[in-house]
Amino acid sequence: GENVEQHPSTLSVQEGDSAVIKCTYSDSASNYFPWYKQELGKGPQLIIDIRSNVGEKKDQRIAVTLNKTAKHFSLHITETQPEDSAVYFCAATTNFGNEKLTFGTGTRLTIIP
Amino acid sequence: NAGVTQTPKFRVLKTGQSMTLLCAQDMNHEYMYWYRQDPGMGLRLIHYSVGEGTTAKGEVPDGYNVSRLKKQNFLLGLESAAPSQTSVYFCASSSLPRQYFGPGTRLTVT
């Protein structure tokens, strides 16, 4: 089955700087890659997603890039703010429309004021 | 529009006791899921449902049962709780491929 690895497990960034979180996947058939943000005591919230026919997607300060050849995708957060502090999870599914996602183990992002 | 809701928010059980976690969604989604979240292990799929009256096993189904009698509800049961089932449980629903999560239930088994 699919295996998703996520790095780093923790990341501290000065407020205003950029943060990058990387994930690799094992199954070349994977074609949908969402990112979730989980604040303390809450459920994961979908913040951005990308399909395999697109190399990059941007939504305000958040962007996701996909490299299908290398089988990795990354989350980029620019101009970080204190409210960006959270745990971020990447995920992948092996077939668009497949009902199951495989999640990475999470990155705890801390924004230093 | 409440999205995905979970009941209860917290629960403490003794080993061997049983309980049911309730998940409800008001988005008319066909797909629903139960995950458990443990430190350092991300989210692991317990069971899921692709529609009313259907259930299927996920990655870690042992010790759990589920039922989907109504489209909007997905129940997770623990028949005989064990300390290894101490975890945070999340329900999600989906209009493929996007999944939307509930706020979670923190369960402690002593």
User: Do A13 and A20 contact (CB within 8 A), yes or no?
Assistant: no
Nearest to B101 among A41, A44, A104 (CB): A44
Per cent of chain B over pLDDT 90 is 91
Strand arrangement of the beta sheet that strand A72-77 belongs to: A4-7, A19-25, A72-77, A62-67, A56-59
Using CA coordinates, name the residue in chain A closest to B91: A43
Find the mean pLDDT for residues A49-53: 89
Strand A56-59 versus strand A45-51 pairing type: unpaired
Cβ atoms within 10 Å of B25's Cβ, excluding its own: 22
Per cent of chain A over pLDDT 90 is 82
Span B19-58, pLDDT tens digits: 999 999 999 999 999 999 998 788 999 999 999 999 999 9
Cβ atoms within 10 Å of B9's Cβ, excluding its own: 10
- Residue-averaged pLDDT of chain B: 94
User: Which residues from chain A sit within 8 angstroms of residue B4, using beta carbons?
Assistant: 43
Using CA coordinates, name the residue in chain A closest to B37: A105
